[in-house]
Amino acid sequence: MAHQEQETQALYEALIHHLDQERIDSFRELFLDIHPYEQSQFFLTVAEDIRMLVYTYLSPSEMAEIFQNFDIEEQEEYISEMEPTYAAKMLAEMYADDAVDVLNELNPEQIASYLTIMDDDAADEIKELLHYEEKTAGSIMTTEFVSIRAHQTVKRAMQILRQEAPEAETIYYIFVLDQQKRLVGVISLRDLIIAEEDTLIEDIMNERVVSVSVGEDQEEAARIMRDYDFLALPVLDFQNHLLGIITHDDIVDVIEEEASEDYSKLAAISDDGTLDRNPFSSARKRLPWLIILLFLGMLTASLIGQFEATLDKVALLAVFIPLIAGMAGNTGTQALAVVVRGIATGDYEENSKWALIVREAGTGLITGATCGVLVTIIIFLWKGTFFLGMLVGFSLLCTLIVATLAGALVPLLMHKLNIDPAVASGPFITTINDIISILIYFGMATAFMSHLV
């Protein structure tokens, strides 16, 4: 690994040396010989003045290959420092879906400017994709695919493939259309290659095609591609016309995006993205949840105040409040994480949700009983009072059962109401379980007060 890093560093130094010496041909020969990912990594390591030189040494189409390897935040930064005409030509050279991803992060004036500079064909293709709602199958599909007709021969299909392959994003699947451009079948590149030249496509194509609607959520498209191990997924309108395809690289981006979004929600924050976002913007996104949790925390404090008389008589009860509340929050968050992940991956179907609830109830009972027995023994050995240990242990048992069920039921209920279950965030579940645990703990303490004093 160290040797590879040394080679990479030497390569970057050689590239910078060619730039400094204005050796355009030497730079291009060395730079274009390395992998696009390595090209993008070099780009990330250099300062703006070096990047400006690279823009002058590379054509828009060559820059498009590198640009598609950057994160969206990096793309925003770099496109802003390019000369507008160069940037517009580069966007036109990118696959349409990737260009749309970049443009969606810009303001309407910038989008209009770049589309005006582009050639009409590229601009029209990008405009078509810009109309689809964000996070739908239509918004992440590409229109650069290979299609053939069912009545054509394999020989003719291979001719079409050779013509269209340079512009297509993937050629592993060739989609078969009828005269009305409706999708009627699909054939793999392998099957096309091994078939006889005079064979009709309709005789060897697979007529059972798995597809997705243009308005379907991108997560559903990701689940289909995961389940079927597809490299590309056709996107259809309501009349089964083939509008585009979703490729595996776009699905990887979707999975990463959705995972990041769900993680942020589980932490009770909006997906406030990059580290360079200013503190006022980050605070504005976090404050709504924090204010809600603040009021819920005040409710918890007021509940404890309702049991002031109980605390006055047995002050030792206060020692175990963090234990009861903390364990409730922990087990509730564990159940929440399991259920939210199951919903997100599609593992939990409607008929399996009752089994899930029963399982979580059983889990709460086992963990609660185990922890309850342990805490009873510890308190007895520590404080020398068996009944107090029994009270805390039984309260913990009841609390963990209820908290585990709450962690499972809340996201399931939100999913049923078509609300993203990830918003049942860890801090939210923790605070709710704090309230439940305090009610259980002090309710039992009050009921059995005569045995504690």
Q: CATH code at 118?
A: 1.25.60.10
The answer on 434 and 288 residing in a single domain is yes
Together in a domain, 357 and 208: no
Considering the domain architecture, whether residues 248 and 346 belong to the same structural domain is answered as no
Which of the two residues, 182 and 292, has the higher pLDDT score? 182
Output the average pLDDT for the chain.
83
Structure confidence by residue, pLDDT tens digits, 125-162:
888 888 888 888 998 898 889 999 999 999 999 999 99
| DSSP string across 105-158 | TS-HHHHHHHHHHS-HHHHHHHHHHHTSPTTBHHHH-BS---EEETTSBHHHHH
CATH (domain of 213): 3.10.580.10
Q: Is residue 140 part of a domain?
A: no
113: domain range?
A: 2-132
Query: Would you place residue 275 in the very low, low, confident or very high pLDDT band (cuts 50, 70, 90)?
Result: very low
Same domain flag for 318 and 418: yes
In the chain, the percentage of residues whose pLDDT exceeds 70 is: 87
Task: Report pLDDT for 44.
Answer: 87
- pLDDT bucket at 59, cuts 50 / 70 / 90: very high
**CATH number, domain containing residue 383:** 1.10.357.20
Residue 35 pLDDT level (bands cut at 50, 70, 90): confident
pLDDT given at position 425: 59
Does 253 reside within a domain? yes
* Cα within 13 Å of Cα(207), Cβ side: 5
Give the per-residue pLDDT at 245.
Answer: 93
The number of domains in the chain is: 3
Domain end point (choices 82, 105, 132): 132
- Measured at the CA of 15, the angle between CA 11 and CA 16, to 5 degrees, comes to 120
DSSP state, residue 32: T
* pLDDT given for residue 97 in this prediction: 84
**Of the residues 236, 262, 288, the one at which a domain ends:** 262
Asked if the model's pLDDT at residue 282 lies above 70, the reply is no
Tell me if 16 is assigned to some domain: yes
Do 302 and 247 reside in the same domain of the chain?
no
Q: What pLDDT shows up at residue 263?
A: 56
Q: Looking at residue 251, what is its pLDDT? A: 86
- Do both 289 and 438 map to the same domain? yes
pLDDT surpassing 60 at residue 43? yes
What digits encode the pLDDT tens for the residues 300-356? 777 777 777 777 766 778 888 888 888 888 888 888 878 877 776 666 665 577 888
Same domain (yes/no): 167, 306: no
| Percent residues over pLDDT 90 in the chain | 26
- 59 with 178, same domain: the answer is no
120 lies in some domain: yes
The angle formed by the CA atoms of residues 267, 268 and 270, to the nearest 5 degrees, is: 100
Whether 30 and 91 map to the same domain: the answer is: yes
Higher pLDDT, 2 or 85: 85
Please report whether residue 267 resides in a domain. no
Q: Which residue has the higher pLDDT, 429 or 180?
A: 180
- Residues 104, 161: one domain? no
Q: Are residues 340 and 434 in the same domain?
A: yes
**For 17-33, what is each residue's pLDDT tens digit?**
888 888 889 989 999 99
Residue 291 lies in a domain: yes
**Token pair in block for residue 401:** 């059962």
Distance, in Å, from the CA atom of 86 to the CA atom of 404, rounded to the nearest integer, reads 57
Digit-coded pLDDT (tens) for 207-258: 999 999 999 988 889 889 888 888 899 999 988 999 999 998 888 878 777 6
DSSP of 194-244, one letter per residue?
HS-TT-BHHHHSB-----EETTSBHHHHHHHHHHHT-SEEEEE-TT-BEEE
- State pLDDT tens for residues 348-377: 665 577 888 888 889 989 998 999 999 999
Domain end position, chosen among 80, 108, 132: 132
DSSP collapsed to 3 states, 240-267: CEEEEEEEHHHHHHHHHHHHHHHHHHHC
Please report whether residue 42 resides in a domain: yes
Higher pLDDT, 169 or 418: 169
d(CA 436, CA 398): 10
Look at residue 272 and tell me if it is in a domain.
no
Contact 248, 231 (CB under 8 A): yes
pLDDT of residue 154: 94
Same domain as 408, residue 307: yes
